[in-house]
Structure 1
Amino acid sequence: MTELSLPSKVIICEVAPRDGFQAESEWIPTDQKVQIIRNLAATGIQSMEITSFVHPKAIPQLKDAEEVVKRSQDLTGMKFRALVPNLKGAERAMDSGITKLKLMLSATDSHSLSNANSTVKEAQDKLEPIIEAAHKKNVTVGGSISVAFGCPYEGAVPVSRLVDILERYKAMGITEVSLADTTGMANPRQVYDLLGELKVRFPTITFSMHLHNTRGMALANAISALQQGIIHFDSSIAGLGGCPYAPGASGNIATEDLVHSFSEMGIKTNINLDSIIEVAKGVKKTLGHDGGSYMLQAGPNSALHLKPKEQVKMQDNG
């Protein structure tokens, strides 16, 4: 039997402060947001999508983006990035101190029209000024493709559509692209096959996975990505998250679940499992719910239970 070859370490980017918080209808005070960010940083997480610089009317929960970034600047061991929908948002992000931008783009016209009020081509055209402005300030820019594995409006996304988008990203000088399973429509074979093809076509692009657990397949999809050598993953504490412009979208794969699974397989994350579980418990208590977390439900494999009394008696008498 051929031994399964997997990466020895991965890099997990925590996205709850953006993707998780944006799905919350009740206002989360800025103090609480900053404290959660600080608690996450203390677990060993080194990469975080801290917020999104969208118009406050679009997502009121993130209207304090500048303040959140400003009050987190002393966390110098953290690599922060922010999602930006347009040039104005990018300028706000860079003015606040963000040194890495993540672009927003959909794989289908239907989702793009809902999310950005533009077709895919129109939306990608609007990204060029962002990239130019970022380069002038030596700010890194990464791309993304939402609904890359399936669209709630159009269904399956042709590989050719993704190739076209990636060709344009490549021409723009983008070398990092996040592939998002926005509504949890991906399956492990699809993930494996698609990544295999894209890695051959675009060897200079570093791909990352942004997986939602809408249909319970996020972890299986993460393993398929690992088998293709992918080491960059997004996740959200307590499984929080969801796209407000995608029907049926639910939470991201929970960070604590991903850390536990990778740890059980001997894959390093540099994140302390016990600490991340405690932070997840705190976030659940603060918000009053979680988005679906196996660690909060069952705990890690190491959390053993007391043996049945009769078994204990037999052992004591043996």
Structure 2
Amino acid sequence: MNNRVFLTECPRDAMQGIKDWIETSDKIDYLNRLLKCGFDTLDFGSFVSPKAIPQMQDTAKVLEGLDESETKLLAIIANERGAEDASQFERIHFLGYPFSISETFQLRNTNATIEESLKRVEAIANICHKENKELVLYLSMGFGNPYGDAWSSDLIASWSGRLTQLFDVSRLSLSDTIGAATPELVQQVFSTISAEFSTIQISAHLHTLPENATKLTEAAYAGGCRYFEGAIKGFGGCPMAKDDLTGNMPTERMLDWFAEQGIETGIKSSEFAEAFVTSSKIFH
């Protein structure tokens, strides 16, 4: 076997942009199936304004119905209030905050400037420390942006350094929010960041077109990435990015490539197959 990889399944990311209400019981059933699969982490819900993301307003109720599992739970939050709400639940392991190196997108996604977001992250990091939670920072627009803001791989490295020096960060998730990344760019960025920040988990959260999934997975792995995030069938993406064509990395495509390479994922194939079938009740 080659090096082990660790997978995060992101049903929250897949569900959040769906306008038709998904019944809480259906969410619980689907998530419980995912919790049996052997994922390292499950991005299961978010504590954000129901006006911004109506689909996630039942996250606390969903959490009550989840079975015990060795899979760690991650909740997305957008401010201190969300962090306080999420941290009241002992079951939640990670709190994730989307930090964009694009000023324009940071305002669109969290209604805060980059400097205001730094203050938020400081408060969130303090809450994590107090409540024994681990902080995950998503570097959104990590592979370019369409807004004309400055971008370069050096800028990613600079922000990664600044954030990890200022705050106790467990995981940096490099996020291709709009599907801008090429395999060459993905390998270059991960090669730089993985080598420079070897004591922190560096994760790939790549929104993409399905036909690009395998090449991007291969490129991230070649660049030293060992933490990968996706969603079954590639559903989802960022509702704030306004790109209906770009979805999440399809988990099954990643699993196929890892299997072909003899790379261990820890995923139980029969349980994953059941979750894959059940996903059709959620995503149409």
Structure scoring higher RCO (CA < 8 A, sep ≥ 6) equals: 2
- Give the aligned partner of residue 271 of structure 1: 267
**Matches of 2:37 and 2:157 in 1, distance apart?**
37
- Give the aligned partner of residue 298 of structure 1: none
**Matches of 2:170 and 2:13 in 1, distance apart?**
22
TM-score by length of 1: 0.83
Q: Report the CA distance between 1:131 and its aligned residue.
A: 0.4
Judged with a 3 Å threshold, the aligned counterparts in structure 2 of structure 1 residues 106 and 36 are, in CA distance, closer, same or farther, namely same
**Matches of 1:197 and 1:226 in 2, distance apart?**
13
- Give the aligned partner of residue 150 of structure 1: 144
Q: How many residues align?
A: 281
Partner letter of residue 107 of structure 1?
I
Structure 1: runs of 5+ lacking an equivalent: 1-5, 290-318
Instruction: Give the 5 Å matches for 1:54-73.
Output: 54-72=48-66
Aligned partner of residue 234 in structure 1, secondary structure: strand
Judged with a 3 Å threshold, the aligned counterparts in structure 2 of structure 1 residues 82 and 7 are, in CA distance, closer, same or farther, namely farther
- Give the aligned partner of residue 10 of structure 2: 15
Q: Give the conservation status (yes or no) of the 8 Å contact 2:213–2:253.
A: no
**Matches of 2:119 and 2:146 in 1, distance apart?**
24
Instruction: Give the 5 Å matches for 1:157-172.
Output: 157-171=151-165, 172=167
Once the two structures are superposed, residues 168-210 of structure 1 have per-residue CA deviations (whole angstroms, 9 ceiling, x without a partner) of: 2112122420001111110111111112222343333321000
Alignment pair present for 1:208 and 2:194 = no
Q: Give the conservation status (yes or no) of the 8 Å contact 1:237–1:256.
A: yes
Once the two structures are superposed, residues 238-278 of structure 1 have per-residue CA deviations (whole angstroms, 9 ceiling, x without a partner) of: 21111111021532111122112211211111213344234
- Give the aligned partner of residue 262 of structure 1: 258
- Give the aligned partner of residue 81 of structure 1: 74
More strand by share: 2
Partner letter of residue 180 of structure 1?
S
Q: Give the conservation status (yes or no) of the 8 Å contact 1:183–1:214.
A: no
- Give the aligned partner of residue 47 of structure 2: 53
Which structure's CA Rg is the greater one? 1
Q: Give the conservation status (yes or no) of the 8 Å contact 2:214–2:254.
A: yes
**Matches of 2:150 and 2:258 in 1, distance apart?**
29
- Determine which of 159, 174, 193 is the counterpart of 1:198: 193
Judged with a 3 Å threshold, the aligned counterparts in structure 2 of structure 1 residues 133 and 244 are, in CA distance, closer, same or farther, namely same
Q: Give the conservation status (yes or no) of the 8 Å contact 1:185–1:215.
A: no
Alignment pair present for 1:246 and 2:244 = no
- Give the aligned partner of residue 133 of structure 1: 127
Once the two structures are superposed, residues 202-235 of structure 1 have per-residue CA deviations (whole angstroms, 9 ceiling, x without a partner) of: 3333210001123732321111111122110001
The RMSD of aligned alpha carbons is 1.9
- Give the aligned partner of residue 224 of structure 1: 219
**Matches of 2:149 and 2:270 in 1, distance apart?**
39
- Determine which of 87, 99, 102 is the counterpart of 1:94: 87
- Determine which of 21, 30, 35 is the counterpart of 1:36: 30
Partner letter of residue 164 of structure 2?
K
- Give the aligned partner of residue 294 of structure 1: none
Identity %: 31
**Matches of 1:122 and 1:155 in 2, distance apart?**
17
Structure 2: runs of 5+ lacking an equivalent: none
**Matches of 1:149 and 1:24 in 2, distance apart?**
25
Judged with a 3 Å threshold, the aligned counterparts in structure 2 of structure 1 residues 244 and 21 are, in CA distance, closer, same or farther, namely same
Q: Report the CA distance between 1:118 and its aligned residue.
A: 1.9
